[in-house]
Amino acid sequence: MNIILYGISNCDSVKKARQWLAAQAIEHQFIDFKKQAPNENLIRQWLEQIELAQVLNKRSRTWRGLSAAEQARAADDGGAIALMMQHPSLIKRPLLQHAGGIALGFDAALYTQLFCE
């Protein structure tokens, strides 16, 4: 499986993850949510491996900017998926898809465990 890093290029955590992967010479593909939003099938694949509550970033500025009615749509998977497709910045980032599954956020120790041990 190819290593794919999803996120937004100007996000500090995404920058750190990209720099770490480059420093370790780990080949990966970067997909910028601003240029290529995830589709429903991709988000559903992620949700098979990790809980919605972890993927949907309710601490984000985007979440806080949503109306109460829009936030209420996230109560079920279908509504949350639609919101994440419409507002990809609601997805916790970076999201790293690798042979062993999915990792959310950047943690150098975790990345070292995944790729260097």
Q: Walk me through the domains of the chain, giving residue ranges and CATH numbers.
A: 1-33+93-116 (3.40.30.10), 40-89 (no CATH)
Q: Is the distance from CB of 95 to CB of 102 less than 8 angstroms?
A: yes
pTM of the model: 0.92
**Do 64 and 82 touch, CB atoms closer than 8 A?**
no
Q: What is the pLDDT of residue 1?
A: 56
Q: What is the dihedral of CA 71, 73, 52, 96, to 10 degrees?
A: -70
| Cβ neighbours for 6, distance < 8 A, ≥ 6 positions apart | 30, 31, 33, 38, 91, 93, 94, 95, 96, 97
Q: Is 116 a catalytic residue?
A: no
Q: What CA–CA distances, in Å, run from 39 to 33, 43, 71, 77, 88?
A: 11, 6, 19, 14, 10
Instruction: Print pLDDT tens along the chain (117 aa).
Output: 589 999 999 999 999 999 999 999 999 999 999 999 999 999 999 999 999 999 999 999 999 999 999 999 999 999 999 999 999 999 999 999 999 899 999 999 999 999 987
What confidence score (pLDDT) does residue 100 get? 86
Q: Pick the catalytic residue: 5, 6, 7, 11?
A: 11
pLDDT at res. 116: 87
Is residue 91 a contact partner of residue 63, using CB atoms and an 8 Å limit?
A: no
